Chain A
Amino acid sequence: RYKPPATETNPALEDPTPDYMNLLGMVFSMCGLMLKLKWCAWIAVYCSFISFANSRSSEDTKQMMSSFM
């Protein structure tokens, strides 16, 4: 028969953590750069790690790498 585990109509609705973490990470890294606060930069690194850990496997690794930066 037929085989569409093209499932999850709304994966974004069900777990927004990685997206939030991505956004937070970017915000903190901008803060860190503009205001020269070291701890901001560290928090940004943490956020990107958390986002990576929670992410779905369908997202590309290139995005992950750029978020690490």
Chain B
Amino acid sequence: MKNLYIFIAVLFIPWSFSLAKYDEFEDGDDIMEYDDNDFAEFEDVSEDTVTESPQRIITTEDDEEEATVELEGQDENQEDFDDTDTQEGDTESEPYDDEEFEGYEEKPDASHSKNKDPITIVNVPAHLQNSWESYYMEILMVTGLLAYIMNYIIGKNKNNRLAHAWFNTHRELLESNFALVGDDGTNKEATSTGKLNQENEHIYNLWCSGRVCCEGMLIQLKFLKRQDLLNVLARMMRPASDQVQIKVTMNDEDMDTYVFAVGTRKALVRLQKEMQDLSEFCSDKPKSGAKYGLPDSLAILSEMGEVTEGMMDAKMIHFLTHYADKIDSVQFSDQFSGPKLMQEEGQLTKLPETKKTLLFTFNVPGSGNTSPKDMESLLPLMSMVIYSIDKAKKFRLNREGKQKADKNRARVEENFLKLTHVQRQEAAQSRREEKKRAEKERIMNEEDPEKQRRLEEAALRREQKKLEKKQMKMKQIKVKAM
């Protein structure tokens, strides 16, 4: 199956390039037929060019009819040489259409009729034969489309089966832990639909809620795009695997302030660049987890050493070592705000909103060729998630840790404010100017001259007061400086 697709896809490219030539020839066909009647007197000149051109075309194309065409072309030209009105000969041999070569079988007949009756002009229709070969471009394209549609259906079904297999294996565990499993967001009240929400042909969502310490958990099954043929072909070059992303939103009171991540080195490097919180709070490069008994493939990024100590207890280490190949990244953060937003200079006026979250990204084993059975192997990972939720709730930093954490956060905020200081000043300035302008307008619009005068006086007084205040401040600063 796959080989067939590759074959078809590879065929497209050269065909499409070669076919542009034929389009031009078809257009040339029409033009030639109509123009030749006008240029009857130039038949000698045009015949010479005509005799050359069919032979040129013959050499450029690789048809079986080459041999027969050459002979017929030469015969016909010799016959036409004697005739006075040889427009038909010109029209028939000039068009550079593949159909014309098949039509040459009819030429002897046409020439016979011409010999008997040299004056009659025989109108040769453009499409001489309705054979399949004249439509091979269309046939090829339609085959390609059919292949794409088939791949779409197959891919869609496979993704569907995988998703439901996952859900069936995990359903019990989820239902025992969460009161509400599966919700569309369409109903006004929270009702448990018990079904996956299909966002796309390759993305499935599941929202669970109703557990003690967390607000909710969103599970996203991000499969590979098996329904898109281009993606399938791209994946043959670069293997990738399905991912299961779990995002647990914690309640504010249930998680202490720390930022911590564990995962494959590559994933952590990428996350550290992308995620706002990791880049701000975890300044070091990912450290190897070998100190705690983790395999080499995993690395740790954390705000403080104390957090790592606290997180890496025996059970967690057990989970991580056993399922290291399936784990892509695990991130606990109280300042989670998503990936860094690319904003322009003047727009950053506020720190982005943060939420306390635990993020897990798991790779489904099989790297692309997964079967529904592989989903069962992800079940223990789900129990790890639930264990982590409980752990995050229980884990509290000691006093020192808390101080450090608070300091870090204050530092980040300060940096941010410094960056935006200029912009905020400008914003405040512009606001003040707006107010002044609005007032002036009001004064101008005021029809009654009395009121106008009064308002002007009030505005003047206000300005004077402001000036005085400023002067007082300056004096105070000078005194203090001294």
User: Measuring CB to CB, which residues of chain A are less than 8 angstroms from any residue of chain B?
Assistant: 1-7, 9, 36-39, 42, 45-46, 49-50, 53-58
B16 in complex: contacting residue of A4, A5, A39, A53, CB < 8 Å? A39
Query: What is the number of contacts between chain A and chain B, taking CB atoms within 8 Å?
Result: 72
Are A4 and B228 within 8 A (Cβ)? no
B207 within 8 A of A: yes
- A1 in contact with B230 given A38-B137, A56-B199, A57-B198 (CB within 8 Å): no
A-B residue pairs in contact (CB < 8 Å), sample of 10: A1-B209, A2-B215, A3-B180, A6-B185, A9-B338, A37-B23, A49-B145, A50-B228, A53-B201, A54-B201
| Cβ contact within 8 Å between A3 and B185 | yes
Whole-angstrom distance from the CB of A53 to the nearest CB of chain B?
A: 5
Closest to B152 in A: A53
Kindly list chain A residues whose C-beta atoms are within 8 Å of the C-beta of B27.
36
Tell me if B19 is interfacial: C-beta within 8 Å of chain A: yes
Q: Contacts of A49 on B, CB cut-off 8 Å?
A: 145, 148-149
Of A9, A54, A56, A57, the residue contacting B225 (CB under 8 A) is A54
B200 & A5 in contact (Cβ 8 Å cutoff): no
For the complex, count residues of B whose C-beta is within 8 A of A.
Answer: 35
Q: What is the minimal beta-carbon distance from B198 to any residue of chain A, in angstroms?
A: 6
| Interface residues in B190-230 (C-beta closer than 8 Å to A) | 190, 197-201, 205, 207, 209-210, 215-216, 218, 225, 227-228, 230
A57 touches B141 (CB 8 A): no
Please judge, given known A-B contacts A37-B20, A57-B198, whether A2 and B209 are in contact too, CB under 8 Å.
yes
Cβ–Cβ contact B201 & A42, under 8 A: no
User: Which 6 A-B pairs rank lowest in CB-CB distance, beginning with the nearest?
Assistant: A3-B183, A5-B207, A1-B209, A53-B228, A3-B190, A42-B141
Question: Are B209 and A45 within 8 A (Cβ)?
Answer: no
Give Cα A9–Cα B337 distance, bound, in whole angstroms: 11
Query: How far is A4 from B23 in the complex, measured between Cα atoms in Å?
Result: 55
Contact A39 B200 (CB under 8 A): no
A57-B145 in contact (CB<8A) = no
The answer to whether the Cβ of B184 comes within 8 Å of any Cβ in the partner chain is yes
Contact B200 A57 (CB under 8 A): yes
The interface residues of chain A lying within 8 Å CB-to-CB of B183 are 3, 5
Set of chain A residues within 8 Å of B218, measured between Cβ atoms = 5, 7
Q: For the complex, what is the distance from the CA of A36 to the CA of B152, rounded to whole Å?
A: 30
Q: Is the CB of B190 within 8 A of A2?
A: yes
Structural contact, B190 and A54, CB atoms closer than 8 A: no
A39 to B31, CA, bound (A): 21
Contact B197 A56 (CB under 8 A): no
Is B215 touching A1 in the complex (CB atoms < 8 A)? yes
* In the complex with contacts A38-B23, A56-B199, A5-B230 CB distance below 8 A: no
Chain A hits for B198, CB < 8 A? 57
Contact B185 A4 (CB under 8 A): yes
The residue of chain A having its C-beta at the shortest distance from the C-beta of B26 within the complex is: A38
A43 (CB) vs chain B CBs: closest residue:
B16
Nearest to B207 among chain A residues (CB) is A5
**CB-defined contacts of B216 to chain A, threshold 8 Å:** 1-3
